[in-house]
Chain A
Amino acid sequence: MAGELTTQGYIKHHLTNASVGEGFWTWHVDTLAWSILLGLVFILSFRSVAKKATVGVPGKFQCFVEMIVEFVGQSVKDTFHGKNPLIAPLALTIFMWVLLMNTMDLIPVDFLPSLAQWIGGLMGYDPHDVYMKVVPTTDLNMTAALALGVFVLMIFYSIKIKGFGGFMKELYAHPFNTPWLYWFNFIIEVISLLAKPMSLALRLFGNLYAGELIFILIAGLIGVWQLPAHFIWAAFHLLVIPLQAFIFMMLTIVYLSLAHEDH
């Protein structure tokens, strides 16, 4: 099916993950590999700085890392007023990981897929059957995994701080505090609770997927004019990349701060 060199085929090829397995047990190998690689880049580079961190005059890379740490720390301090040693590291991990994964969007759309196809060709595969999607955040599985992690923490801390009863009470007794409307409250609150991780996952996924799609469309449709168009879109996307990482981080902090609030 993927043999023809039509524009449609090109776009479709770019939007397909390299996968292994069937049905639910399908693994998107490219998403997993790139995200874990970038996560390792994050934790190892930060760990190397942490190991050599001096209290005295810091080096340039230490300065850079400390800037990020302080920025995240400040965001957490401004929004989250409880005491929880998990929130700040969680926010930092989300911010840096999402930022790095989003940044993969700036690598020219054909560069890594073509490389993968070439290597696949050398290994005896049909190059058209070699798929490579390099931006992990354009995979809903990736963003949903992050959102799910945050959701689990929300539930966990809600129950831990308010007790199970308190958590349930928040669900059924919140907007209208009259027993005959509890069923209505419950529906609303459960929807709004579930909407939080959904919106987290879909916002990041949608933004990055759309951005990637525009790159692919520019590459696939307008020939040589793609050079300035790519530049313009990349410059615009330069704003989207850190913004989406920041929004994901901020909303995580806000949601967890709500989970810690006892009415």
Chain B
Amino acid sequence: MNLNATLLGEAIAFIFFVWFTMKYVWPVLNGAIEERQNKIAEGLAAGERAEKDLELAQHKVTEQLKDAKAQAADIIEQAKKRATQIVDEETTRGHEEREKIIAQGQAEVEAERNRAKEDLRQQVSVLAIAGAEKILERQIDAAAHSDILDKLVAEL
């Protein structure tokens, strides 16, 4: 148990081991650990950032969705309004058209009837003259008696 040369040997071994650890072991391992710690810290920070971004994006999405819904409702409302407007307009236009066509038809019918009446009158006058001729059995001067004839025609 006395102190002896073993102490010197162990001291030399101790110095060697410390030197070796200082030179070849500690810096490498500690460096790896620290680098990994940095990496993990960065990863965590990135994750947090991404989470924040996601939250923001979700906010945006809900807002946009709300906007879009409002817009869609607006558009539908406008379309409905426009549709009723168009329907109303078309209905009035149709009515007017119908009135117009009916009026036109009536006018045409009137004109036709007037023409037929005129024709008839002409023919009756001719017939009347012919009849009178036959009754009188003589030549009636058409020109001389035209006033009578005209009166007749007017009476028809």
A98 and B89 alpha carbons, distance in the complex (Å): 104
A47 and B11 alpha carbons, distance in the complex (Å): 21
A186 and B5 alpha carbons, distance in the complex (Å): 31
* Complex partner residue of B25 from A24, A47, A56, A86, CB under 8 angstroms: A47
Chain A residues with CB under 8 A of B9: 27, 32, 145
User: Is A194 engaged at the interface, CB distance under 8 Å to the other chain?
Assistant: no
Which of B28-36, B67-75, B100-108 lies at the interface with chain A?
B28-36
Is there an interface contact between B13 and A88, defined as CB atoms closer than 8 Å? Answer: no
Chain A residues with CB under 8 A of B39: 55
* Complex partner residue of A92 from B2, B4, B21, CB under 8 angstroms: B21
A65 and B10 alpha carbons, distance in the complex (Å): 25
Counting chain A CB atoms within 10 Å of each CB, which of B1, B7, B13, B28 scores highest? B7
Closest residue to B14 on the A side, CB-wise?
Answer: A149
Chain B residues with CB under 8 A of A55: 32, 35-36, 39
Is there an interface contact between B3 and A46, defined as CB atoms closer than 8 Å? Answer: no
A35 and B28 alpha carbons, distance in the complex (Å): 25
Is there an interface contact between A25 and B4, defined as CB atoms closer than 8 Å? Answer: yes
User: Is B18 engaged at the interface, CB distance under 8 Å to the other chain?
Assistant: yes
User: Is A26 engaged at the interface, CB distance under 8 Å to the other chain?
Assistant: yes
A88 and B18 alpha carbons, distance in the complex (Å): 10
Closest residue to B24 on the A side, CB-wise?
Answer: A47
User: Is B15 engaged at the interface, CB distance under 8 Å to the other chain?
Assistant: yes
Total chain A interface residues with beta-carbon distance under 8 A: 48
A140 and B6 alpha carbons, distance in the complex (Å): 9
Chain B residues with CB under 8 A of A86: 18, 22
Chain B residues with CB under 8 A of A21: 4-5
Closest residue to B20 on the A side, CB-wise?
Answer: A43
Is there an interface contact between B13 and A69, defined as CB atoms closer than 8 Å? Answer: no
Q: List which A138-174 residues lie within 8 A (CB) of chain B.
A: 139-142, 144-146, 148-149
Chain B residues with CB under 8 A of A25: 4-5
Are A32 and B10 also in contact (CB < 8 A) when A93-B18, A141-B3 are? yes
Q: How large is the interface on B (under 10, 10 to 19, 20 to 34, 35 or more residues)?
A: 20 to 34
Chain A residues with CB under 8 A of B15: 149
Are A27 and B6 also in contact (CB < 8 A) when A43-B17, A149-B14 are? yes
Is there an interface contact between B26 and A92, defined as CB atoms closer than 8 Å? Answer: yes
A239 and B49 alpha carbons, distance in the complex (Å): 46
Is there an interface contact between B33 and A69, defined as CB atoms closer than 8 Å? Answer: yes
Is there an interface contact between B29 and A148, defined as CB atoms closer than 8 Å? Answer: no
Closest residue to A97 on the B side, CB-wise?
Answer: B17
Are A46 and B10 also in contact (CB < 8 A) when A21-B5, A39-B17 are? no
Q: List which B17-55 residues lie within 8 A (CB) of chain A.
A: 17-18, 20-22, 24-30, 32-33, 35-36, 39
Chain B residues with CB under 8 A of A53: 28-29, 32
Is there an interface contact between A85 and B18, defined as CB atoms closer than 8 Å? Answer: no
- Measured CB to CB, the residues of B under 8 A from A are 1-11, 13-18, 20-22, 24-30, 32-33, 35-36, 39
* Given A31-B6, A73-B30, A90-B22, 5 more pairs with CB closer than 8 A: A55-B32, A58-B36, A69-B29, A69-B33, A86-B22
- Measured CB to CB, the residues of A under 8 A from B are 17, 21, 23-28, 31-32, 35-36, 39, 42-43, 46-47, 49-51, 53-56, 58, 65-66, 69-70, 73, 85-86, 88-90, 92-93, 97, 136, 139-142, 144-146, 148-149
In the A-B complex, list the 10 residue pairs whose CB atoms are closest, starting with the nearest. A145-B10, A89-B22, A141-B6, A50-B28, A89-B26, A53-B32, A28-B6, A26-B4, A89-B21, A145-B11
